[in-house]
Structure 1
């Protein structure tokens, strides 16, 4: 006797909210109400990248310069632990995260002042690269 398929009218239908195994769909691991993961390192990277993009757009001498982030310098200078290093021959500026975060004293320890500290270090490093005063890098911002 040949096998015949049951017609759709006679076959029981599952509700659409169930999956093919009869269970309800599973939720995602991270639900939308939870805030996205945001770490201190991510905020540091964003502050450096934002300041670097502003400086590159304002100064054509900095368009080919790479702004890099490192945790710590290899060895301290005779003046102490550097916050950044300018390598003109390699067209690189390296900003050191840990000395900036841990050795700098803020009068108010919040996200805005930490961001301003990082951006100020990027501006001072770029000014050292260009042999200029940091206040000359963005004069239209401060008028």
Structure 2
């Protein structure tokens, strides 16, 4: 099953829409973080809450950076003509899976095997930067691209 041109256009549109949402969410988080950082902590509980919020926001930004990378990879695959093909098995990814997760790069069975192996090794996602600053740089560059 190879995807028709109209289907590829549909998935490309979906992926670009998702990309805009991720960048917009990042922009909103950045604005909220800047507004929250101007307060003064006078109580230990407030300091703990502020630290928790910072860690949560960093985690959300890292998740967004990983999702953004997945989306960008899928957009590249559409341009290369390899979209919808499992990176592990070379099999076609079902349309049902692509409709649910347009950035899927594995069939369901291949993803299960990958996740099982990754969990057994305790691996982190290969798309996340080990340095959170790199993750944030990636989102900032995407944000700048949408402003242009």
Bigger share in strand: 1
Structure with bigger helix share is 2
Q: More relative contact order in 1 or in 2 (CA 8 Å, sep 6+)?
A: 2
Same fold, judged at TM 0.5 (above): no
